[in-house]
Amino acid sequence: MKQRAKLSVIGAGFVGSTCAHWAAAKELGNVVLLDINEGAAQGKALDLFEASPVEGFDSKITGTADYKDIADSDVIIVTAGLPRKPGMSRDDLLAKNAQIMTSVCKGIKEHAPDSIVIIVSNPLDAMAYVAKEVLGFPRERVIGMAGILDSARFKSFIAEELNVSVKDIQAFVLGGHGDTMVPMPRHCSVGGVPLMEMLSEQKIEALVERTRKGGAEIVGLLKTGSAYYAPSASAVAMAEAIIKDQKRILPCAAYLNGEYGVDGLFIGVLSQLGSTGLEKVVEVKLNDKEREGLNHSIKAVQTLIEKIKTMELS
Ligand code: APR
């Protein structure tokens, strides 16, 4: 009989512990929460486990600071790193989080070399690059979470504007996770009807702009951290697609091997996720404006990677 899947979450802060919460509640498998701050990981894991009889989910949840405990993980979600403060861009986190990502990925490489790794720490596209370099895993097994979150923000704003169910909105976002993301209103629909037939160009542009600044809007309100409910739900949606071999088509940051004319960078693209991880990159035909937006986004990611290449990461 097949055993339960094992999901490890690195970083037991706001995003990591909420990942553990969504994953356990969905009974995706047993969950290990690892943090450099051992007490926080153990305390949150125990607290969540004690919620299981109330909510009725069968998942074992344990906390640790020891990488040995992530051995044999099927999927690992990495959320370790500093979050943004008001006035900071995701890029301001670059140097510190690159160091953290390096040490985390060394632990994963040593103790869970066959796992599929989902990166959440920011700046996302750059952190995914650092992770892939350190892990040395094939691109199928290192995937970044960004597009699902950005698309979810776009979908929520569309649903609110039209006063319809979020379930009936289809929308996605391409490009890097940041101000240069490329929302794709041309491919959005509401109950199958093109969004462009339901809202004016001006209104759509306003929703796109709010989506672009969606992360900063939350940082501005929270003042002491960044978003965590929607980011963690998005990471867990990826883990679920992999653990259940759902073959879902989701916007994720994938390491491109020539798609969209890009080589060796993580960029947000439509990705098929199944039991082997990234199973396919689905290329979308772009019009001139979208291509221009994507090129701009690629340049922004490239600039960060150039900076990373000058850093000494140990
Ligand atoms: N190893 C393991 N855990 C670490 C390490 C490390 N080397 N360094 C830091 N951490 C842990 C911290 O102890 C903390 O518990 O990472 C956790 C980060 O949690 P928060 O500060 O609450 O940050 P959070 O809001 O969860 O965001 C984490 O996700 O969305 C991104 O931009 C966000 O990069 C940030 C990350």
- 35 Cα: distance to centroid of ligand 1 (angstroms): 8
Residue-level pLDDT at 178: 75
Which of 9, 10, 15, 224 maximizes ligand 1 atoms within 8 Å of its Cβ, making it the mutation to test the pocket?
Answer: 15
Rounded distance, CA 266 to CA 251, Å?
12
Q: What is the full per-residue pLDDT of the chain (314 aa) written as tens digits?
A: 768 999 999 999 999 999 999 999 999 999 999 999 989 999 999 999 999 999 999 999 999 999 999 999 999 999 999 877 787 777 778 988 999 999 999 999 999 999 999 999 999 999 999 999 999 999 999 999 999 999 999 999 999 999 999 999 999 999 988 788 898 999 999 999 999 999 999 999 999 999 999 999 999 999 988 999 999 999 999 999 999 999 999 999 999 999 999 999 999 999 999 999 999 999 999 999 999 999 999 999 999 999 999 888 87
- 16 Cα: distance to centroid of ligand 1 (angstroms): 7
Rounded distance, CA 152 to CA 9, Å?
22
Phi, psi values for residue 56, rounded to 5° = 75, 40
Pocket of ligand 1 (CB under 6 A): 10-16, 35-37, 40, 79-81, 83-84, 93, 97, 100, 103-104, 120-122, 225-226, 228, 231
- 199 CB-near residues (< 8 Å, 6+ apart): 158, 161, 162, 207
Rounded distance, CA 221 to CA 225, Å?
9
By three-state DSSP, how is residue 170 classified? strand
- 150 CB-near residues (< 8 Å, 6+ apart): 173, 177, 181, 183, 211, 214, 251, 268
Tell which atom from ligand 1 comes closest to the C-alpha of 122. 34
Among protein residues, the one with the nearest Cα to ligand 1's atom 34 is: 121
301's tokens: 């990611």
Residue-level pLDDT at 2: 66
Rounded distance, CA 53 to CA 202, Å?
49
Catalytic positions are 177
Which of 22, 32, 33, 35 maximizes ligand 1 atoms within 8 Å of its Cβ, making it the mutation to test the pocket?
Answer: 35
Domains 6-144 and 147-309 in one fold: no
Say if residues 20 and 44 touch (Cβ distance below 8 Å).
Answer: yes
Residue-level pLDDT at 88: 77
**Spans of all domains in the chain:** 6-144, 147-309
Q: Any idea what DSSP says for residue 118?
A: E
Residue-level pLDDT at 82: 86
Tell which atom from ligand 1 comes closest to the C-alpha of 103. 7
- 81 Cα: distance to centroid of ligand 1 (angstroms): 4
Strands, sheet with 193-194, edge to edge from the N-terminal-most edge strand: 169-170, 189-190, 193-194
Residue-level pLDDT at 68: 98
Specify the CATH number of the domain 147-309. 3.90.110.10
Sign, Cα dihedral of 82, 225, 171, 304: negative
Say if residues 251 and 151 touch (Cβ distance below 8 Å).
Answer: yes
- 120 Cα: distance to centroid of ligand 1 (angstroms): 10
Rounded distance, CA 173 to CA 260, Å?
15
Q: Is the pTM of this model over 0.85?
A: yes
Q: What is the architecture of the domain spanning 6-144?
A: 3-Layer(aba) Sandwich (3.40)
User: Counting Cβ atoms within 10 Å, is residue 170 exposed (0-12), middle (13-18) or buried (19+)?
Assistant: middle
Rounded distance, CA 121 to CA 81, Å?
6
Phi, psi values for residue 120, rounded to 5° = -120, -25
Which of 37, 125, 134, 313 maximizes ligand 1 atoms within 8 Å of its Cβ, making it the mutation to test the pocket?
Answer: 37
